[in-house]
Amino acid sequence: MTEYVVYWLIAANLVAFVLMVLDKHKAEAGARRIPEATLLLWAFLGGAFGTVLAARLVRHKTRKQPFATWMLIWLWFDIALLLLWATGILQSWLASALAYLDGAT
């Protein structure tokens, strides 16, 4: 299970990074942009590091509010989840929740 989480985080961060860079290029070219909701969704789904890294590297959306604030919120959220996962706390909570749901059906 852990390996799938790692694969997902790598994929989500790569997608988020590419979308941010692509949106920057589209903005410079005056082309149709990627919706902010899509960029923030990928940050929320585990790609916050890729989103923040791309924003800093290509200087894109670093001052745009509330986007920049949400970007950082999702980064801290992802960090907290990773710490909970690494310490085993999140697995314990998930196991308890699944056991409860299994007993409720």
- For the chain, how many structural domains are there in total? 1
Domain residue limits at 85: 2-104
Tell me what pLDDT residue 74 has. Answer: 92
Angle at 58 between CA 65 and CA 13, to 5 degrees: 80
- Global pTM value: 0.80
What would the mean pLDDT of 10-28 be, rounded to a whole number?
97
pLDDT range class, residue 1, cuts 50, 70, 90:
low
Per-residue confidence band for 15, with pLDDT thresholds at 50, 70 and 90: very high
Q: Around Cβ 21, how many Cβ atoms within 10 Å?
A: 17
